[in-house]
Amino acid sequence: MRLGAIEFVAPPLVEGPRIVFFIPLPEALHKIPFAMEMANGQYGLPVSITVVTTWFIILVFFLLFKCGTKRLELIPGKLQILLESVYEFLDGIVEQMLGSWKKKYFSYISTLFLFIFLSNIVSFFPIPWYSVDGGAISFAPAFRAPTADLNTTVGLALLTTFAFLKASIKTNGIGGYLKGFAQPIPVMLPLNIIGELAKPVNISVRLFGNMFAGGVIMGLLYMAVPWGIPAPLHLYFDLFMGLVQSFVFIMLSMVYIQGALGDSEYVEN
């Protein structure tokens, strides 16, 4: 939409990891993986919109918890009440799923939930960015949901995979872990291997698919009715769906970790 010299630009429905800027590299590093040639003929390391948005989310977390924990009071303020409510919610879920292992995995699960949730809803907030081209000012969304990028969801899934593999090997030993693929009968070996490999694929593609599809659907709605009528649907596709997918991801992560731990009890070193 154009208003005089000002143009509002909607992001494309199917957008890859758009490069925001390059980090210049010395000549000795021009051959490293991911190095790309820039417009001036030099080489640099590309930084995509996914990475920039992730940095922004980290900054928001830092400021939120820095301010929220600076002055803890017996009679809490609004921010302290919010943080305590989130803590109690996550504490109850992790304890219900992992029992005595809550102390070991609470930090990971809670951080995972908060990061995914904020990543899912970052596009809900109308944070604009502008660019000037030929005297015309273009406005476009400043950030893109990192969870709508498969690179992010695969990275998160690999963290969970490392967590439950470490738990299983530490509990059963390497030999016990490998023998588990032949349970309950050796003929189940191929299916058990496929099932183990499917775990990270399941949680990564599920999260990516839902968030990416939500963005595409909203884009199609705005193309069909461009005058803001679809805006209330952001409450579902961004807020509600973002919360649900965050919850599903951590629940599946805890199911995988709990399955790796079995009936063992947590013993503090």
Reduced to 3 states (helix: H, G, I; strand: E, B; else coil), residue 190 is helix
> According to the model, what pLDDT value does residue 199 have?
93
Helices (H) and strands (E) in the chain, counts: 7, 7
Residue 134 vs residues 5, 40, 137, 253: alpha-carbon distances, Å: 10, 20, 8, 50
Sequential DSSP letters for 56-85:
HHHHHHHHHHHHHTTS--SS--HHHHHHHH
Percentage of the chain surpassing pLDDT 70? 86
- Give the rounded distance of the alpha carbon of 158 from its chain centre: 12
In one letter, which amino acid is 172?
N
Please list the residues that pair with 130 across neighbouring strands. Answer: 139
Residue 90 vs residues 120, 183, 200, 219: alpha-carbon distances, Å: 18, 33, 22, 33
pTM of the full predicted structure? 0.85
Q: At what angle do helices 78-98 and 102-121 cross, to 10 degrees?
A: 120
> According to the model, what pLDDT value does residue 117 have?
94
Residue 4, CB-side half-sphere exposure with 13 Å CA sphere: 1
Tens digit of pLDDT at every position of the chain (269 positions) = 455 555 555 555 555 667 778 888 888 888 887 788 777 778 888 888 888 999 999 999 999 888 888 877 877 788 888 888 999 999 999 999 998 899 899 999 999 999 999 999 988 877 777 666 665 666 667 788 899 889 999 999 999 999 999 999 988 888 888 888 888 888 888 898 998 899 999 999 999 999 888 878 877 777 777 665 666 777 777 788 889 999 999 999 999 999 888 878 776 65
> According to the model, what pLDDT value does residue 91 have?
92
49-102 residue pLDDT tens: 888 999 999 999 999 888 888 877 877 788 888 888 999 999 999 999 998 899
Report how far residue 240's alpha carbon sits from residue 246's, in angstroms, rounded to the nearest whole number. 10
- Give the rounded distance of the alpha carbon of 151 from its chain centre: 10
Residue 240 vs residues 124, 235, 257: alpha-carbon distances, Å: 11, 6, 26
Nearest by Cα to 147 from 239, 97, 210, 235: 210
> According to the model, what pLDDT value does residue 17 have?
67
Domain boundaries defined on the chain: 59-127+145-261
> According to the model, what pLDDT value does residue 224 have?
74
